[in-house]
């Protein structure tokens, strides 16, 4: 396998061909924030948090899908990128209704973590307080649209790993929301196998186990990654 050498944040790295900038950076212990990305699911490059600067181009490129190429010089945390990331987090907070203090995911929420790491202690943009619903029709799980950031991890895991395709994105633009079946109550959708993978990969408290109360939800992406690895490579980690 051929190797690509590149420089990320001043560090010279050598990675196998086909490695993404995100993988290369993480291998080297350089943290690039992500939200829609999840190892094991197809990338969508939608959250724009992992945008990085690359010498020789004005365009910011998403690290999650940009392959490392020979001689690349990458910056992952310039002041410009840091301001962009903070603004992305502000845009997310203002378009939903995120109240950490009473959320099942408080303390274990990727959005909350990002607010901390980007220094988003208040929003410079006005909160929009949209009217969103909560779906408690499923016997085991709940979906609180107020906390959904439309990362589509649930859509992808249900389609790509479970194969049930219960979820999809409905409508458009600011009216987008995750839908089950024909925009029905989750509990009414026959296709659901109750596997709970969508809950596991949800980065916020939008999808949760019924009965969980404040700060009790932990997302468990490692389980998914083990599953995908086992399926692809026929290797288990008992």
Residues 124-163 that bind other proteins (CB under 8 A): 124-126, 128, 137-139, 149-150, 159
Q: Encoding tokens for residue 81? A: 């990128």
Which of residues 87 and 223 has its CB atom nearest to other proteins in the complex?
A: 87
CB–CB of 125/133 below 8 Å? no
Residues 5-24 that bind other proteins (CB under 8 A): none
Residue 56 sits in the site that holds other proteins (CB under 8 A): no
- Smallest gap from residue 111 Cβ to other proteins (A): 11
At closest approach, how far in Å is the CB of 87 from other proteins?
Answer: 5
User: CA 141, 147, 148, 154 torsion: positive or negative?
Assistant: negative
Give the separation between CA 164 and CA 142, rounded to whole angstroms.
Answer: 18
Q: Is 194 in the site for other proteins (CB under 8 A)?
A: yes
CB nearer to other proteins: give 168 or 220: 168
Q: Which of 119, 171, 210, 231 binds other proteins (CB under 8 A)?
A: 171
Instruction: Report the residue from 63, 92, 103, 115 that binds other proteins according to the rule CB under 8 A.
Output: 92
45 lies in the binding site for other proteins (CB under 8 A) = yes
């Amino acid at each position: 396998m051929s190797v690509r050498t590149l420089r990320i944040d001043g560090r010279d790295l050598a990675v196998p061909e086909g490695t993404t900038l995100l993988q290369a950076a993480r291998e080297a212990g350089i943290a690039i924030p992500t939200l829609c990305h999840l190892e094991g699911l197809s990338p969508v490059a939608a959250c724009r948090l992992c945008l990085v600067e690359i010498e020789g181009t004005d365009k910011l490129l998403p690290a999650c899908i940009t392959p490392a190429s020979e001689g690349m010089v990458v910056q992952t945390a310039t002041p410009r990128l840091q301001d962009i990331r903070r603004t992305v987090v502000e845009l997310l907070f203002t378009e939903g209704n995120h109240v950490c203090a009473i959320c099942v995911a408080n303390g274990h929420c990727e959005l909350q973590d990002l607010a901390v790491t980007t220094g988003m202690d208040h929003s410079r943009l006005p909160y929009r307080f949209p009217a969103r619903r909560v779906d408690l029709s499923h016997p085991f799980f709940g979906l609180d649209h107020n906390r959904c950031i439309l990362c589509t991890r649930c859509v992808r895991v249900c389609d790509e790993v479970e194969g049930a395709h219960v979820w999809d994105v409905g409508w458009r633009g600011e009216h987008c929301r995750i839908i089950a079946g024909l925009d029905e109550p989750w509990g009414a959708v026959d296709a659901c196998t109750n596997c709970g993978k969508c809950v596991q990969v949800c980065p916020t408290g939008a999808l949760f186990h019924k009965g969980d109360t404040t700060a009790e939800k932990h997302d468990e992406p490692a389980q998914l990654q083990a599953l995908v690895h086992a399926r692809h490579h026929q290797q288990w980690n008992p």
